Amino acid sequence: MNREENLLRKACEEIAEEETEALRREMDLPSVRQIDALYRRHQKTVSALLDAQFKKRFGMKRFLEIAACLALLMAAGAAAFRNRPEPTPLSPGVTASVLPYYTQSPTPEPTVTPEPTHSPTPQPTITPAPTPFPTEAAEPASAAAGFPTPFLDPTNIPTVSPTDAPVLTSGGIPVPTSWRGAYFPDYLSWGLEVTGAGANDEQAMVILGSTSRPDVITFTEYFSARSLPAAGDEASYVPLNGVLALRETSAEGVVTLTWDQDGRTFRLTAEEDYADGIEKMAASLQKISE
Amino acid sequence: MFPLPLILLVLDSREDRDFLEALYREHYRLMYYQALKITHTPEAAQDAVSDAILALTQKIDLLRTLPRNKQAAYLVITVKHQALNLLGRKKREDVTWDGNLPETPDAARPEDGVMARAGVERIKRAILRLPPREKEIMLMRYFREMKDDEIAKELGVRPGTVRVHLTRARDHLAALLQGKEDAP
């Protein structure tokens, strides 16, 4: 690729990204409502379209690939058969003969090895790790109905592990020392504690809960503004820190607040019985680092 | 030994499908918003998104190599082009976009290397000054990395026509970079 092509590519990339950012910024709440409704109506069509398209690809391209694969394997098998080593000839004067009778050599009795005595081996310590994301078994019904939730976003979710020694913020919620976000909520009214935290290049996530329920609230900071999948069937908008936050409720009552602030996207998700104060918790967001 | 490659091939196909669906779920708001902005009707927006998804299935390998911000942009630009095509098909008289560029006198052949000497920022500004159709065809080639025949198929024109349009767009661009303000 020559320099001119490279420059054109970079310029076009920048144009595309800028157009996308502009689109993201100008998307207003009525549009979001309309789009969400449109998305739900169109969801099944898109799934069917993808199914059909990939079946079609399987039918044509994949068939040829499989046929080529089989042909290669058969050719390899035939080559291996042709190249098999010749049987070693017997020494001169020695003729092969069939044994006149078949004798079975006595097989030794199997010896019984005594079972090893049970000695207490050091078992790995099982830390009551928080459940970072509900597994499929805990999949909300809304997802089963084809409605996306942030829990099921399969891409780039940070690994959440039990937290290290926390550092207390002035407000009282312990911030894990490994927290890589620039913001952290300062208010938590339910007596919960941080049970897990994780981060990757794009987001930092913390899970709050108690010993009996380790994952009742999840707070995620995306390091840049993001368009996130819908998280519930009911949506409304609540004022928050000078912006409007999208408040979504899933069929199970899980409440999710999503809002943009300072060029970042934040998402706070709470189980039904902890949903009451999440606006206050979201509003308590404090900048803790640059 | 035999079933292994077969299983891998099937899994690969399934993986592609799931990858694309995950991308769609992540960026559907931007996609529909872009489509609505151009088509103005929910039905046409749905069609544009469907067409875009079909187009994206052909570019899975490329999409996988893109970072996430570029993936979003790729989806948005693909929807934009599909929406413009849809409008063009439905309303041929609409000169906004019909896949065919109007006949314009060729710009004076710019001197060689003018683009190579310009920086990305200057080229970007110049592309933004091109007529919309030329700008979009540049995005198809250089951002969506479409070949002539792919662009031709999407626009419903012959590959030769695409080559002519691209050459003209590049000439206009080079003329703009040379300071011929009214080049296009």
Residue B78 in this model has a pLDDT that exceeds 80: yes
Q: Does residue B86 share a domain with residue B16? A: yes
Mean residue pLDDT of chain A comes to 72
Residue A140 backbone phi and psi in degrees, to 5: -65, 150
Choice between B12 and B132, residue whose per-residue pLDDT is larger: B132
pLDDT of B73 reads 94
Q: Which of B49, B75, B90 is the C-terminal boundary of a domain?
A: B90
Distance from CA of A231 to the nearest CA of B (A): 11
| A121-154 pLDDT, tens digit each | 444 333 333 433 333 333 333 333 333 333 334 4
Choice between A200 and B7, residue whose per-residue pLDDT is larger: A200
For chain A positions 98-137, those within 8 Å of chain B (CB to CB) are none
Measured torsion, CA atoms of residues A263, A28, A203, A47, in degrees rounded to the nearest 10: -150
* Alpha helix positions (H), A27-99: 29-57, 63-82
Q: Does residue B9 share a domain with residue B82? A: yes
B46/A51 Cβ within 8 A: no
pLDDT of A139 reads 35
On whether ipTM exceeds 0.90, the answer is: no
**Which of B2, B18, B32 to mutate to probe the A interface, most A CBs <10 Å?**
B32
Distance from CA of A229 to the nearest CA of B (A): 5
Distance from CA of A1 to the nearest CA of B (A): 12
Question: Which of A89-103, A208-222, B38-52, B54-68 shows the lowest mean pLDDT across its residues?
Answer: A89-103
B25/A153 Cβ within 8 A: yes
- Residue in A32, A46, A202 nearest the CB of B24: A46
> What is the DSSP secondary-structure string of B74-88?
HHHHHHHHHHHHHHH
Closest to B76 in 3D by CA, of A23, A38, A222: A23
Q: Does residue A153 share a domain with residue A71? A: no
Q: How many CB pairs under 8 A join A and B?
A: 161
Quote the CA–CA distance of B129 and A58 in Å, as a whole number: 43
Identify the band that residue B147 occupies on the pLDDT scale cut at 50, 70 and 90: very high
Residue B136's domain comprises 114-177
Q: Does residue B31 share a domain with residue B81? A: yes
For chain A positions 45-64, those within 8 Å of chain B (CB to CB) are 45-47, 49-51, 53-54, 57-58, 62
Residues of B in contact with A11 (CB under 8 A): 120, 123-124, 127, 142
pLDDT of A85 reads 67
Q: How many domains does chain B have?
A: 2
CATH number of the structural domain spanning residue A262: 3.40.1000
Strands (E), chain A: 166-168, 174-176, 183-185, 193-199, 203-209, 217-222, 234-240, 243-249, 255-261, 264-270, 285-287
pLDDT of A202 reads 86
Classify residue A86: in a domain, yes or no: no
Residue A18 in this model has a pLDDT that exceeds 60: yes
Residue type, A81: F
Q: For residue B65, give both structure tokens.
A: 């190599």
Identify the band that residue B80 occupies on the pLDDT scale cut at 50, 70 and 90: very high
pLDDT of B72 reads 93
Q: How many domains does chain A have?
A: 2
pLDDT of A9 reads 92
User: What are the beta bridge partners of residue A243?
Assistant: A240
Identify the band that residue B178 occupies on the pLDDT scale cut at 50, 70 and 90: confident
Choice between A17 and A96, residue whose per-residue pLDDT is larger: A17
- Report, as an integer, the average pLDDT of B15-44: 90
B17/A51 Cβ within 8 A: yes
A49/B119 Cβ within 8 A: no
Q: Going by C-beta distance under 8 Å and a sequence separation of 6 or more, which residues neighbour residue B76?
A: A16, A19, A20, A23, B27, B30, B31, B34
Classify residue B183: in a domain, yes or no: no
Q: Does A13 touch chain B (CB under 8 A)?
A: yes
Residues of A in contact with B37 (CB under 8 A): 23
Q: Does residue A191 share a domain with residue A66? A: no
Classify residue A106: in a domain, yes or no: no
Identify the band that residue A2 occupies on the pLDDT scale cut at 50, 70 and 90: confident
Residue A25's domain comprises 3-77
Name the 3-class secondary structure at A98: coil
Distance from CA of B13 to the nearest CA of A (A): 7
Quote the CA–CA distance of A244 and A60 in Å, as a whole number: 49
Identify the band that residue B76 occupies on the pLDDT scale cut at 50, 70 and 90: very high
Q: Give the H or E element holding residue A180.
A: none
Q: Going by C-beta distance under 8 Å and a sequence separation of 6 or more, which residues neighbour residue B131?
A: B101, B172, B184
Q: Does residue A141 share a domain with residue A279? A: yes
| A31-71 pLDDT, tens digit each | 888 898 888 888 888 888 888 777 755 556 666 777 787 88
Distance from CA of B141 to the nearest CA of A (A): 9
| A203-216 pLDDT, tens digit each | 998 888 887 888 88
pLDDT of A221 reads 93
**Sign of the Cα pseudo-torsion (B46, B51, B57, B60, in order):** negative
Q: What is the 3-state secondary structure (H, E, C) of A148-173?
A: CCHHHCCCCCCCCECCCCEEECCCCC
Q: Does A11 touch chain B (CB under 8 A)?
A: yes
- Residue in B30, B32, B74 nearest the CB of A38: B32
Identify the band that residue A160 occupies on the pLDDT scale cut at 50, 70 and 90: low
Q: Does residue A144 share a domain with residue A68? A: no
